[in-house]
Amino acid sequence: MRKKQKQKIVLPPELPPEVPDDEIQVSDEDLQFVDQNRDYAGFVSNLDTKSITKHVTRVADVKDDALESMYERRLRKKSADKDKEEDEVEVDPVDALPVKTLDGKLYYRTVPSAAKKSETEATAASEDNGTATPMVKLTKAEKRAKQKKLRKEAKKQVKETAQSDEVRQAPQSEVLDEVKKELTAEEANEKKKYRLAELGTALLVDPESNIKSLREMLQIAKDGDHSIVILGLKSLLAVFKDILPGYRIRLPTEKEQQMLVSKAVKKTRLYESTLLTAYKAFVQKLIALEEQAVYKRVAMRCICTLLEAVPHFNFRDNLLVAVVKGISSQDDVVRKLCCATVKSLFEHEGKHGGEATVEAVKMIAELVKVHNCQLHPDSIDVFMSLSFDEDLGKPESSEVDNKTKMKNSKKKRKLVEPNKLPASENKRSRQEIISKTREEVKADYKAASFAQDVAERRRMQSDTLSAVFQTFFRILKHAMQSLASSMGESFSLPLLAPCLNGIGKFSHIIDLDFMADLMNYLRKLAGAGSQKNDSHHLTVSERLQCCIVAFKVMKNNLEALNVDLQEFFVQLYGLILEYRPGRDKGEVLAEALKIMLCDDRQHDTQRAAAFVKRLATFSLSFGSAESMAALVTLRHLLHKNAKCRNLLENDAGGGSVSGGIAKYNPYATDPGLSGALASVLWELNLLTKHYHPAVSTMASSISTMNTVGNQVSHSNISPQQAFVQLSHEHESFIPASNTKKTSNKRKKGCRLSFPISSASKDELMTLADENAVRNKLSEHFLILDNIVENERLRTELYCTNMSLKLCEQYRKQKKRIR
């Protein structure tokens, strides 16, 4: 087969004879052919002449000797490349990627082999030293040394390759280690959770036998994982709430520990000491975690729960300090938790006997002092949950009466039985023993009973009350100092409003020694801000609150005080016009009207008339709730002062021509100098057309008081009740209107939706017109809203279209470049 294949080989044609360049002649036909076919001969200009000359055997302008030396150098280079390829070892493509040339060939990287490298290094070293080893036979010892050296080099090379492999595998091993650590951490967390559940269940089932488990639970709660710490704290909280005793633990002294006791006593002592140690560690951990932002809320919730559940137990002071510190916290959740806990302590004094209440009030007073009255109002609002005995401010008359009765009885016995002989010494000793035993029994009964001693309770309440009023007076004094030293600068009094509320609530038990200073403070604070140039002053609600508190103090201590309240009436007369709904509190104004004007008090005629006129003007300017409260007060003043009803007449001078009447001065600041008796209540005629039926009915009934009599509706409603009722109704109140034309003949049983005293067809038509205008305006605003929304959508659509066009242009340019 091979012979047959050799016979089939076709030899290429022989090359033309070599002709020197000088003898070559180019004819005109050749030139013409080249000119006509230039498109086919363009490749000649793109030939790489340098690469062609490398493979040409004959090089131009080179002599024969130089040409032979060039060929010899090329052969040496080829042989050197072959030896290098034989000496080098190809690198694994995993370790080093190959290089791909433009021709598409792959060239793999090579590394010189170790044996050749060592031999070349040895020969190079010998040549450098000038001691080139001749080609002689080596002895056995030299061969052994050489083999030993080669083995060492091989071992060294193996170590180097192992290290390189380790370096190469280091990232992968690190990733695997991290994954393993995460898996082991998750497994460890699951084990800790199950362990916490087991320990907690065992402690709840039998706390005395498993009391040592608390240490392990505390150790688990010290873990670095956030979820494990929170779970540990909650588990410990549930356990302590259940197992803590209802008494305070007292550890035995050194003398008591040296005494011989039974096994049961030893067991109890061990249990109590272990429990107290673990509870102390838990409280310390909670206080430490409360400083960290991550665990702040959890720690404060645990502290508040412990203090509320076991306020009688040990370390109450530590918990109370943390809770009192948190009532002024910036965090709303922490502040509400702490305030609720303090209020619970004040309301449930049976759990701790009132001791925690005294401590908490004193701590709050100290906190207000340290922060210079710059705390959150909730820190003082907690005082509103305190409760005191009604006879706390009265002297202890019962004990004095008992002592006087005992003295009188002894004197009577001496007078009745003067000749009776004294008892013998045996009888005296016997009576002393009986009295001592009785005292001991009473003391034991008092310690065992849950009932609190009356004298002890009275002492604790007096301490609490003194701390509370010390705080209140400090806040009032700070407010006075701020007003005096403001000099046009802004200042804040966050605790003034809750302080005034507290003074008003506990005004019936204030010590009479402080009454004069208190009334002086209230008078100055009520007048603060009346100056026209003072831009930084108290609000209207705060000034009204000062007037309310002054009247409450005066009412509760009427027998002991004799104070002129004329200045407070002057302040109220001006504050009625300064009131603004939304900015100021309407319920405070209603309370001021009730206490200062509606309570059983006989007012001067001029003052009553001034307030009647001012309240009627006020009713025209504000909402239905404020107007109703003012009208109720106005009606009460007219009912109590019959002379003021002359304001309802339309004659000149209010219907009263007899005597000299002062001219009406609506701009007077003093109600006694306003001359309101010379005016007329023309405001009631406008109020009868008020949109709210209750206000219009009240105004019409007041305007007919002189003719109809005193039978007026809402006679038992106070200004506060009227304000609250109409403020709630205002949220869902819609004025009734009849858009249809009313017929002259009404059907029987047809009634208006609300009773209006002087309703007419014109009024109903105006209401209908108002509703129509309201509907048109609402439709107009809806159309405008839709237009704005459409414009926004159009702009978004335009931007989207522009971005799509730009994207298409970019794609077209990219295609052209390709």
CATH number at residue 337: 1.25.10
Query: Is 213 inside a domain boundary?
Result: yes
Q: Are 683 and 664 in contact (CB under 8 A)?
A: no
Res 707 pLDDT > 70: no
Question: Which of 326, 355, 385 is the C-terminal boundary of a domain?
Answer: 385
Q: Which residues of 525-548 are buried (b: 16+ CB within 10 A; e: fewer)?
A: bbbbbbeeeeeebbbbbbbbbbbb
Query: Is 788 inside a domain boundary?
Result: yes
Least confident of 144-153, 481-490, 584-593, 735-744: 735-744
Q: Are 744 and 647 in contact (CB under 8 A)?
A: no
Three-state DSSP state, 475: helix
Q: What is the residue whose two structure tokens read 């008992």?
A: 402
Distance CA 526, CA 523 (A): 5
Query: Is 5 inside a domain boundary?
Result: no
Confidence of residue 750 (pLDDT cuts 50, 70, 90): very low
Q: Are 575 and 669 in contact (CB under 8 A)?
A: no
Mean pLDDT of 548-575: 82
Confidence of residue 340 (pLDDT cuts 50, 70, 90): very high
Which residue did the predictor score with more confidence, 69 or 591?
591
Show Cβ contacts of residue 292 under 8 Å, excluding neighbours closer than 6 positions. 299
Strands (DSSP E) found in 590-724: none
Q: What is the pLDDT of residue 359?
A: 93
Q: What tokens were used for 293?
A: 């932002």
Q: Are 118 and 150 in contact (CB under 8 A)?
A: yes
773 and 813 assigned to the same domain: yes
Give the pLDDT confidence of 169-201 residue by residue, as tens digits. 556 556 556 656 666 778 888 888 898 999 999
pTM listed for this prediction: 0.62
> Which helix (DSSP H) or strand (DSSP E) does residue 397 occupy?
helix 397-416
Give the pLDDT confidence of 762-774 residue by residue, as tens digits. 544 555 566 676 6
Q: Are 494 and 372 in contact (CB under 8 A)?
A: no
Look at residues 722, 732, 729, 733 and name the one whose alpha carbon lies nearest to residue 587: 722
Q: What is the pLDDT of residue 29?
A: 82
Q: Are 376 and 332 in contact (CB under 8 A)?
A: no
Q: What is the pLDDT of residue 426?
A: 65
Q: What is the pLDDT of residue 769?
A: 64
Tell me the pairing of strands 88-90 and 110-112.
antiparallel
Mean pLDDT of the chain: 76
Confidence of residue 334 (pLDDT cuts 50, 70, 90): very high
Q: What is the pLDDT of residue 504?
A: 87
248 and 378 assigned to the same domain: yes
Q: Are 368 and 475 in contact (CB under 8 A)?
A: yes
Look at residues 214, 210, 217 and name the one whose alpha carbon lies nearest to residue 196: 217
801 and 717 assigned to the same domain: no
303 and 262 assigned to the same domain: yes
685 and 797 assigned to the same domain: no
Mean pLDDT of 110-123: 54
Distance CA 557, CA 803 (A): 82
Look at residues 388, 311, 379 and name the one whose alpha carbon lies nearest to residue 345: 311
Which residue did the predictor score with more confidence, 572 or 748?
572
Which residue did the predictor score with more confidence, 130 or 30?
30
Query: Is 423 inside a domain boundary?
Result: no
Least confident of 58-62, 587-591, 637-641, 747-751: 747-751
- Owning domain of residue 627: 611-740+753-759
Least confident of 28-32, 294-298, 582-586, 731-735: 731-735
Q: What is the pLDDT of residue 136?
A: 52
Q: What is the pLDDT of residue 758?
A: 41
DSSP state of 584: B
Which residue did the predictor score with more confidence, 759 or 523?
523
Which residue did the predictor score with more confidence, 121 or 791?
791
Confidence of residue 235 (pLDDT cuts 50, 70, 90): very high
Q: What is the pLDDT of residue 368?
A: 93
Look at residues 731, 543, 725, 721 and name the one whose alpha carbon lies nearest to residue 633: 721
683 and 806 assigned to the same domain: no
Which residue did the predictor score with more confidence, 320 or 780?
320
Res 155 pLDDT > 90: no
Q: What is the pLDDT of residue 742?
A: 41
Res 301 pLDDT > 90: yes
Q: Are 476 and 524 in contact (CB under 8 A)?
A: no
Tell me the pairing of strands 106-107 and 99-100.
antiparallel
Distance CA 41, CA 47 (A): 11
Q: What is the pLDDT of residue 182?
A: 63
Distance CA 46, CA 49 (A): 9
722 and 806 assigned to the same domain: no
Query: Is 312 inside a domain boundary?
Result: yes
Q: What is the pLDDT of residue 658?
A: 45
Give me the helices (H) in 641-760, please: 683-687, 693-703, 705-708, 719-732
Question: How many CB atoms neighbour CB 804 within 10 A?
Answer: 10
Mean pLDDT of 796-814: 83
637, with CB counted inside 10 A (0-12, 13-18, 19+), is buried
Confidence of residue 89 (pLDDT cuts 50, 70, 90): low
Distance CA 791, CA 590 (A): 49
Mean pLDDT of 775-792: 70
Res 442 pLDDT > 80: no
192 and 336 assigned to the same domain: yes
Distance CA 619, CA 513 (A): 41
Q: What is the pLDDT of residue 533?
A: 39
Query: Is 418 inside a domain boundary?
Result: no
Q: What is the pLDDT of residue 48?
A: 72
Distance CA 319, CA 315 (A): 7
Question: Which of 355, 385, 415 is the C-terminal boundary of a domain?
Answer: 385
Q: HEC string of 753-780? A: CCCCCCCCHHHHHHHHHHHHHHHHHHHH
Res 781 pLDDT > 70: no
Query: Is 574 inside a domain boundary?
Result: no
Res 5 pLDDT > 50: no
Which residue did the predictor score with more confidence, 655 or 378?
378
Query: Is 775 inside a domain boundary?
Result: yes
Show Cβ contacts of residue 74 under 8 Å, excluding neighbours closer than 6 positions. none
Confidence of residue 256 (pLDDT cuts 50, 70, 90): confident
818 and 684 assigned to the same domain: no
Res 7 pLDDT > 60: no
Least confident of 49-58, 284-293, 323-332: 49-58
Confidence of residue 419 (pLDDT cuts 50, 70, 90): very low
Q: What is the pLDDT of residue 489?
A: 66
675 and 774 assigned to the same domain: no
771 and 735 assigned to the same domain: no
Q: What is the pLDDT of residue 600?
A: 65
Mean pLDDT of 589-608: 86
Q: What is the pLDDT of residue 416?
A: 39
Res 40 pLDDT > 80: no
207 and 339 assigned to the same domain: yes
Mean pLDDT of 84-106: 70
Q: What is the pLDDT of residue 532?
A: 45
**What is the number of structural domains in the chain?**
3
